């Protein structure tokens, strides 16, 4: 029997593994906490890359570019009709994670909430997000962003 690895969170590689684990948990449970944990971890990955002494310069530059998009710099605004695009997915992740901290800007931010599809089953499975006037399936966004970072980090 192979011994389980003790999880550590020292590198961006570790944070990517954490995101994969949390996506797996969310796929099994469709629990709001598991969804939120995956969003929170994905929000942290680019900053871990940027601040790592071991990151290749090209990867650091990519992380800086994506952090700027996530922060909404250069007037990059979330468009809930473009959530199939990576940059809008990254912006959504940042807004999801920081929404409650922006009390002065809340009126200008898209309303984001967890949702479930009908008919409801119990226990309720949170699989969707309400973003502005759109309902989106959260799993696809989480999986896409994990695959993006995995493809970039795997080449680091």
Helix, strand, coil tally for the chain in percent (to 5): 60, 10, 35
Give the pair of three-digit tokens for residue 46.
């680019």
For the stretch 70-127, pLDDT in tens is: 999 999 988 888 999 999 999 999 988 886 555 555 555 565 655 555 565 656 666 7
Q: Which one has a higher pLDDT value, 129 or 69? A: 69
- DSSP string across 80-106: GGGTTSHHHHHHHHHHHHHGGG-TTTT
Taking the C-alpha atoms of residue 57 and residue 50, their distance in angstroms, rounded to an integer, is: 9
Map out the domains of the chain as residue ranges. 12-153
Cα separation of 138 and 82, whole Å? 14
Q: Tell me the DSSP string of 142-153.
A: HHHHHHHHHHHH
Q: Tokens 């011994």 label which residue?
A: 3
């Amino acid at each position: 029997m192979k011994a389980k690895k003790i999880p550590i969170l020292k590198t961006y590689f570790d944070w990517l593994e954490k995101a994969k684990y949390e996506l797996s948990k969310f796929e099994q449970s469709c629990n709001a906490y598991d969804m939120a944990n995956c969003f929170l971890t994905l929000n942290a990955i680019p900053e871990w890359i940027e601040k790592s002494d071991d990151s290749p310069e090209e990867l650091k530059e990519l992380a800086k570019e994506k952090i700027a998009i996530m922060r909404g710099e250069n007037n990059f605004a979330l468009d809930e009709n473009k959530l199939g695009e990576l940059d809008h997915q990254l912006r959504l992740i940042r807004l999801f994670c920081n929404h409650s901290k922006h009390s002065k800007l809340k009126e200008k931010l898209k309303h984001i909430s967890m949702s479930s599809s009908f008919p409801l089953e119990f226990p309720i499975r949170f699989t969707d997000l309400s973003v502005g006037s759109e309902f989106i399936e959260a799993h696809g966004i989480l999986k896409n962003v994990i695959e993006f970072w995995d493809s970039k980090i795997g080449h680091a």
